[in-house]
Amino acid sequence: MNIEDVRAFVAVVDAGSVGRAALRLNLTQPAISRRIQRLEEALGIVLLDRDSKPARPTRAGEAAYRRCVAVLRATEALARETRAALPAVPLRVGLTYAVSDSVFVPAIEALREACPGVSLHLIAGRSNDMRRQVSDGVLDAAIVAAAPDRLLEEPAAMPLGFERVFVVASRATPVPARARLADIADQPWVINPEGCGFRDQLDRALAGSGRAMEVIAETWGTALQLALIGRGIGLGLVPARLLSESPHRAGLRIVEVEDFRPSLAIWMVRNSGAGGFAAGLDAIADSVRALLAASELGPLSAEA
């Protein structure tokens, strides 16, 4: 088995196509295809479903991908220890959707400053998926969310702080600046899809008062949510710092809900084999911790 064949297969899965993998590795597409064919012959399995466009890993390919990533990690670790001149493997970090909007740029900047020679591959997803990928070795680390009173089981889990969201409305929406949940229970919502911890908290709170949440639009991505909320489509749950940065902020306001203050604990979990990236992961963790701390200390207003 050739390590460059392994690298080509991982690049195709990461990039989403043979063409993009070829650009990433500075090879031709036929060269990438030949390497994957050699790897398939060596393993005796089909790695890619070539009938799909773009090609996707088969079920056996998905399992092999996780193993291949671990092989590349081990190769890179050996290269660092022996000072061998092998291509660097990117630091792979997952980000929960709950904080990805505000963490992507600071994480990249923190890593560039602390470890300018390390390349970074950031992936947004659901917390449970990110934790599983860290455990499987697909990711080196992940920034994940959990219930505020929950301790994560991973040995290397590190608490970073708390993310709080606020009910946000258009200034034209007829809801009071300060209210109780019952006062806004009949309003439609622009909110994250199911699986979001903040949405779960709202759903439970409404159900506890005998109400059901009316979802008029569900989408990941605060920018789109705030654009819809600003047009009076519905209410939303948004971190205050993202509201203040939005181009729609002039038409938006925070509604202080006395009996509903949703928050999530934010953690970093690390793979035990990511020790060579410790300095970079520490820099990312510090940037997220500072971001969350600033949000806790920042002034908030019902008219913000």
In the chain, the domains with their CATH numbers are 3-82 (1.10.10.10), 92-148+266-297 (3.40.190.10), 166-261 (3.40.190.10)
205: Cβ–Cβ under 8 A, 6 or more apart, which residues? 181, 259, 260
Indicate whether 84 pLDDT > 50: no
- Which of these, 123, 152, 117, 138, lies nearest to 66 by C-alpha position? 138
Q: What is the pLDDT of residues 202-214, one digit of tens each?
A: 999 999 888 899 9
Helices 3-15 and 29-43 cross at an angle (nearest 10°) of: 120
End-to-end CA distance of the chain, in Å?
A: 60
Question: Which of 40-44, 47-51, 125-129, 296-300 has the lowest average pLDDT?
Answer: 296-300
Indicate whether 300 pLDDT > 90: no
Region 139-159: what's the mean pLDDT?
90
Cα(18)–Cα(137) distance, rounded to whole angstroms? 23
Question: Which of 86-100, 167-181, 252-266 has the lowest average pLDDT?
Answer: 86-100
Strands 166-170 and 252-257: antiparallel
Q: What is the pLDDT of residues 263-274, one digit of tens each?
A: 999 999 998 877
Kindly indicate the confidence band of residue 301, based on its pLDDT and cuts at 50, 70 and 90. very low
pLDDT attached to residue 292: 87
- Residue 215 identity: V
Q: What is the pLDDT of residues 283-297, one digit of tens each?
A: 999 999 988 887 764
Indicate whether 83 pLDDT > 80: no
Cα(278)–Cα(246) distance, rounded to whole angstroms? 34
The CA angle 24-30-34, to the nearest 5 degrees, is 100
Kindly indicate the confidence band of residue 94, based on its pLDDT and cuts at 50, 70 and 90. very high
Mean pLDDT, the chain, whole residue set: 87
Region 205-234: what's the mean pLDDT?
92
Kindly indicate the confidence band of residue 145, based on its pLDDT and cuts at 50, 70 and 90. very high
Indicate whether 304 pLDDT > 60: no
- Which of these, 4, 3, 25, lies nearest to 14 by C-alpha position? 25
pLDDT attached to residue 144: 95
Kindly indicate the confidence band of residue 82, based on its pLDDT and cuts at 50, 70 and 90. low
What global pTM score does this model have? 0.69
